[in-house]
Structure 1
Amino acid sequence: MRRLLPMALLLAMVSAMSMPAPSFAQTALPPAPYANRQLDDPALEAKATDLMHTIRCLTCQSQSIADSDASMAADMRSEIRERIARGEDPEAIRAWLIERYGDWISYKPTAEPILWPLWAAPILMLGAGGLLVRSRMKRRRGSQP
């Protein structure tokens, strides 16, 4: 009898672990109202779509929220459409998203002073490469008879 109890517990644990977990992970929330539905005004929808193409999906990380099927992206699409329908400026919405999620969320680069070395590095490297080529050309011309 004592040997059957640990075996029964082991069997119960294995069967509990093998249950389909995704069925427990479903959300009870309804989908966001404008997640996959466009605004009635084509001009406002164009503003929303342009903004959505410049915002990175937090789940996928390599797609914009306009291209992503993730539920988080759907919620963000709906939020953007609702705010644009209320008359908010797309840049104000972008600023709010950046404030909330950080600079990383935007595909549109910023010109913050801390990033100036990154913008200047390619120019400096091209200049250094040009000087190197120029000095080599002078040495080569000087060594020819």
Structure 2
Amino acid sequence: MNKLSLAIILGGALTVTISNPAFSYEESRFLGIDRDADGAISKAETEAYRERLFKEYDLNSDGKVEYEEYVQAENLRSVTAPSYSEVPVPDEYREMDTNGDTIVTLEEIKAAGISRFNTLDKNMDGKVSKEEFVKPGL
């Protein structure tokens, strides 16, 4: 690639960066879930996201997420942190663990996802718009 081509490409990238401010955390998450980029999150996209999330958390691939895996996946530990059994259980984990066995299954994560989806879908159209997703206080 010659220097002129590289300069044009970099100049274009710089223009795009300047004209499009960075996305907020919520907007970035929304775009990551909205796989077909239609501006709304469908139930199918929510379920696919939960499946991907479950695989990321199931560090030993045994089909369930134990609390230790959850803590590791969430990067809640550091080299000097107490052992996982001494770390308080986050409310989010406790809410997903519906039977209280300290293990979160894929079914529990899916159920939590459906509940969250229904909470976000304010107009009950079966999709979560960007506005519904990033609205403060959710």
Instruction: Please confirm whether the aligned pair reaches a TM-score higher than 0.5, indicating the same fold.
Output: no
The one of the two structures with greater contact order (alpha-carbon pairs below 8 A, sep at least 6) is: 2
Higher strand share: 2
Max radius of gyration: which structure?
A: 1
User: Normalising by the residue count of structure 1, what TM-score does the alignment of the two structures yield?
Assistant: 0.22
User: Normalising by the residue count of structure 2, what TM-score does the alignment of the two structures yield?
Assistant: 0.23
Higher helix share: 1
